[in-house]
């Protein structure tokens, strides 16, 4: 028997797809949205025209960073959830992929700032999903 699903719980859940982009030294790219205090992985919610996670990632990386997703590089890292950074009272549920991109990331659309950080010791305030789930996996997995 399955537990009843509370529709309110689903309404408070934000489903996203996010990217881990690393530079040659192993640092991870984090972004800060306009008006936000914390940094997070680039990515976002699926739009109606997005057929799958890769389509969402490709669109978001183009819109937010001006970069092209290299689809042959995409590797699933994890699925995790945490309190949403910018929507009080909501939970963000993320499907996270390690990716490579073509082009030099630049802040575009709602992105105000980019920062390359050491995943073991980020020097900026980081959203809970990234801090508690994504960055620890990157420091534990040397091959990522």
pLDDT per residue rounded down to tens, the chain (144 residues): 444 445 547 778 899 999 999 999 999 999 999 999 999 999 999 999 999 999 999 999 999 999 999 999 999 999 999 988 888 889 999 999 999 999 999 999 999 999 999 999 999 999 999 999 999 999 986 544
Among the listed residues 127, 67, 137, the one whose alpha carbon sits nearest the alpha carbon of residue 98: 137
End-to-end CA distance of the chain: 38
Rounded Cα–Cα distance for residues 115 and 39 (Å): 8
Q: How far from chain centre, in Å, is Cα 63?
A: 14
Query: Which domains does the chain possess?
Result: 7-140 (3.90.79.10)
Q: What angle do CA 55, 71, 134 make, to 5 degrees?
A: 80
Rounded Cα–Cα distance for residues 96 and 41 (Å): 9
């Amino acid at each position: 028997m399955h537990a009843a699903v509370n529709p309110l719980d689903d309404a408070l859940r934000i489903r996203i797809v996010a990217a881990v982009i690393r530079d040659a030294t192993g640092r991870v790219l984090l972004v800060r949205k306009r008006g936000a205090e914390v940094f997070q992985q680039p990515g976002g919610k699926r739009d109606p025209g997005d057929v799958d996670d890769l389509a969402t990632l490709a669109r978001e990386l183009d819109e937010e960073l001006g970069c092209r997703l290299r689809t042959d590089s995409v590797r699933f890292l994890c699925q995790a959830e945490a309190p949403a950074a910018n929507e009080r009272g909501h939970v963000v549920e993320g499907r996270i992929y390690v990716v490579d991109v073509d082009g030099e990331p630049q802040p575009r659309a709602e992105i105000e700032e980019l920062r390359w950080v050491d995943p073991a010791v980020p020097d900026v305030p980081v959203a809970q999903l990234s801090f508690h789930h994504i960055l620890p996996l990157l420091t534990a997995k040397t091959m990522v």
